[in-house]
Amino acid sequence: MAEGRHEETLDPWYDRVAEAMGVRTQDWNDVSYPGGLWGAACDHSGRTANPVPVAVDKDTCVNCNWMMAGCRFEAKKSLMFNYLPAALAHGATIRPLHEVQRVERTDDGGYRVHYDVIDEDDYRIRTDSGSIDAKIVVLAAGAGATPVILKRSEPDLGTMPNAVGRYFSGNGERLNTAVVDEDRVRDVLGLERDDERAYEAFQVGKGPCVANWDRLDAALPEYSRYSLEQLYFPPALGTILAQVPGAPAPSWFGADKKEMLRRWKSWLIVFTMSEDDNEGVFGAPPPTGNATRLSQQMLGRGTLSYRPTMNTLKGWAQSDAEVKEILEKDGIASVAPWTNDLVGAYTVHPLASCRIGDDPHTSALDDRHELRGHPGIFVTDGSAVPGALTVNPAMTIAALAERSVPGIVDAARERGVDVTYGAPAPDGATSGRGGVLKLVGQRT
C-alpha cells in the first residue's frame, strides 16, 4: 500500500473484493460515538480523520459491537454471506472443524491432506481424523498456521523454502487506551449524546469507524508511517493489557486498575498499524494444530517468537506519543499504551510468514502464490502478504488472493481439473470481474 506501483497493480483486485464482500464507505451518520469522539479529537488537534470503509450492512447493524466471532444480526458481511455460499453453489464441499495437520506427496504427483476433526465446543479434543487426496492444494490457514502445517509436512514433502515460518509481521500493531474526561468532551469538543451524557459510549458501535491517515504519506521515512484507528475490543481481550494512565508501570492489575474499569464506559481504544521489520520466526511445530491448546478454545501456546527491533519500537513510541498528544490536548483524556510484558508483542493481523516475493531466499512463494519447489501447492492467506501495511490488511489479503486465482485455475487445468476462471461476484454482480478480466487476459 505504501508503494503506489503496487496499489495501482492491485486496484482492480481491490474493486473485485469490495464488490464481492459489499465493502462500503461509512458517512458521519454511520459513525459510532467512539468513532465520532476520535474524529473530533483529531480535528481539535489540527489533524484529519476519515470514516473507514467496512463490510457491514448499516441497515441491519444494531451497533452492539458483538462481532468478534461473527454477527447475530447478519449485518457483518463475513465470508458466511458471500464467498462461502458462492463456493457451495459451484460445487464445493465445506468440512467444518477439520483441522489440517500436514500435507504429503502421493505417487501420482498429487497431494494427500491429513486432518483431525475437533470437538465443536472443546478444541482440545480430537474426535476423528482422515485424509483427502488432491491434485492441487490451496492453503489458507492464516499467517499463524499455514507455515506450521508446511513445516510439519517437511518429512514427507521435502525441504521447505527458507522463508516458510520466517519474516512474520505483526503489521506493526499497538494499542492505547484512553479514559476520557466527560466534562472536557462536552466543553472542549462540543460533543453531547443527550442532556446528561457527553460520551459514556465505549461499548457502542461496530469495531473501527474512524481513522487518522495523516502519517501514511509514502514520502515519510520508513518506520515513521502509521494509521491511528478508533477500535473496540470486548472486556478480557480488551481490558487485561490496558494500563492505568499516569500510574507507575506495571499497572495492568491492582486497585488502580479496578478504578479504571469503573470508568469503562468512558474508555476509547486507539489502534496503531505501523511498519515493523518482519522479525517473527516460528519454532518447531507443536504436535497438532498451530499451538498447544490450554483452554478449550481461545488460549494456546504457539512457537512464534517476535522480538521487536529498534525500528519497530521507534514507530510504536512515535505513535504512542502522537495518540497522547491528540487525546490529552486540553484535558480531553488520559492515555496509556497496553503492556507488552504479559504476552509479548501482540497483533490481530498476523502477516508474511509464507510470503510472496522475487528473492527465493526471503520469499516462500513466487508471484503466482505457488510454494517454491513444491508445484501445485498455493498459499492465499495473510501469510502471503510481504510485510506490514500500515492499514487494516483485510482488503489486501483478499485482493492478493483474488489476484492468485487465475494462476491457480491454470494449474488445476494443467492437471486435468475441469475449471474455468471468471465467476461473477457472489451476489451476481459483474463489474469487478470486468475489471480483472482485462488483466488476466494480459497475463495469459
Partner 1 sequence: MPQGIPDADSVETRTLEAFADTILPGARRTPDDTAIAGRSHDAGAVEAGALELLRTPATGVTSGLGEFVGLLNDHARHHADLCALPLTEEEPPFVQLPFEERTALVRALTSPGHPEKEFWVMLSLFCNMAYDSAAHMSTPVAIANGHPGLTAMGFAAPDPDGLLRFKEYSYGRPLARLHPDTTSSGSPA
What is the footprint of partner 1 within residues 218-247 (CB under 8 A)?
Answer: 227, 234-236, 239-240
Choice from 22, 43, 57, 368 touching partner 1 (CB under 8 A) = 43
Q: Which stretch in 86-94, 252-260, 317-325, 354-362 sits in contact with partner 1 by CB under 8 A?
A: 252-260
Of 98, 112, 135, 265, which one interacts with partner 1 (CB under 8 A)?
A: 265
Q: Per CB under 8 A, which region of 94-102, 139-147, 195-203, 362-370 contacts partner 1?
A: 195-203
- Candidates 127, 22, 91, 138; CA nearest to 378 is 138
The grid coordinates listed for 339 are: 503492556
Among 213, 282, 306, 316, binds partner 1 (CB under 8 A): 213
* Contacting residue, 16, 17, 26, 180, with partner 1 by CB under 8 A: 26
Q: Binding residue for partner 1 (CB under 8 A) from 68, 97, 220, 261?
A: 261
Q: Which one of 135-143, 254-262, 326-334, 369-377 is the stretch in contact with partner 1 (CB under 8 A)?
A: 254-262
Residue with cell 496503531: 272
Cα–Cα distance, 102 to 219 (Å, whole number)? 43
For position 389 contacting partner 1 by CB under 8 A, the verdict is no
Q: Which range binds partner 1 by CB under 8 A, 156-164, 193-201, 414-422, 428-436?
A: 193-201
Cα distance between residue 241 and residue 381, in whole Å = 28
The CA distance from 310 to 313, in Å, is: 5
Q: Which DSSP category does 81 fall into? A: G
Interface pattern 292-331 for partner 1 (x via CB under 8 A): -xxxxx-x-x------------------------------
Peptide bond preceding 386: is omega within 30 degrees of 0, i.e. cis? no
Instruction: Kindly state whether residue 432 participates in binding partner 1, applying the rule CB under 8 A.
Output: no
C-alpha angle with apex 271: 263 to 220, nearest 5 degrees?
140
**Alpha carbon distance 356, 384 (integer Å):** 5
Longest dimension (CA), the chain: 74
Q: Is 291 in the site for partner 1 (CB under 8 A)?
A: no
| Look-up of cell digits 513466487 | 366
Asked if 50 is part of the footprint of partner 1 (rule: CB under 8 A), the reply reads yes
The verdict on 68 binding partner 1 (CB under 8 A) reads no
- The CA-atom distances, in angstroms, between 217 and each of 220, 395, 439 are 6, 19, 28
Does position 5 interact with partner 1 (CB under 8 A)? The reply is no
Long-range contacts at 117-124 (CB < 8 A, ≥ 24 apart): 120/96, 121/296, 121/297, 122/296, 122/297, 123/289, 123/293, 123/296, 123/297, 124/293, 124/296
The single residue among 210, 304, 351, 412 that binds partner 1, judged by CB under 8 A, is 210
For the bound state, the minimum distance from the C-beta of residue 237 to partner 1, rounded and expressed in Å, comes to 9
Q: Which of 40, 84, 423, 437 binds partner 1 (CB under 8 A)?
A: 40
- Cα–Cα dist 381/396, whole Å: 10
Tell me which residues in 72-131 interact with partner 1 (CB under 8 A).
72-73, 122, 124
User: CA 359 to CA 366: how far, in whole Å?
Assistant: 9
Cβ of residue 199: shortest distance to partner 1, in angstroms?
A: 9
Closest approach, Cβ 440 to partner 1, in A, equals 22
Is residue 51 involved in binding partner 1 (CB under 8 A)? yes
With CB under 8 A as the contact rule, the residue among 391, 401, 405, 411 that binds partner 1 is 391
Judging by DSSP bridges, how do beta strands 377-379 and 137-139 pair with one another?
A: parallel
Residue 123 neighbours by CB under 8 Å, 6+ apart:
289, 293, 296, 297
Shorter beta-carbon distance to partner 1: residue 92 or 294: 294
Out of 3, 59, 69, 262, which residue is the one contacting partner 1 (CB under 8 A)? 262
Q: In this chain, which stretch among 49-57, 110-118, 330-338, 354-362 interacts with partner 1, using CB under 8 A?
A: 49-57
SS3 329: helix
Query: Interface with partner 1 includes 49 (CB under 8 A)?
Result: yes
Q: Is 283 in the site for partner 1 (CB under 8 A)?
A: no
Q: Which H or E element spans position 51?
A: strand 50-51
Shortest separation between residue 25's beta carbon and partner 1, angstroms: 3
* Residue numbers 146-175 binding partner 1 by CB under 8 A: none
Residues 164, 170, 172, 175: what is their CA dihedral angle, to the nearest 10 degrees? Answer: -170
State the nearest-atom distance from the C-beta of 272 to partner 1, in Å.
Answer: 15
- Cβ-in-10-Å burial (0-12, 13-18, 19+) of 240 comes to middle
Each residue 329-358 as x (binds partner 1 by CB under 8 A) or -, in order, gives ------------xxx---------------
# binding residues, partner 1 (CB under 8 A): 72
Note whether 36 binds partner 1 by CB under 8 A. yes
Q: Tell me: does residue 69 bind partner 1 (CB under 8 A).
A: no
**Is 408:428 a contact under the CB 8 Å cutoff?**
no
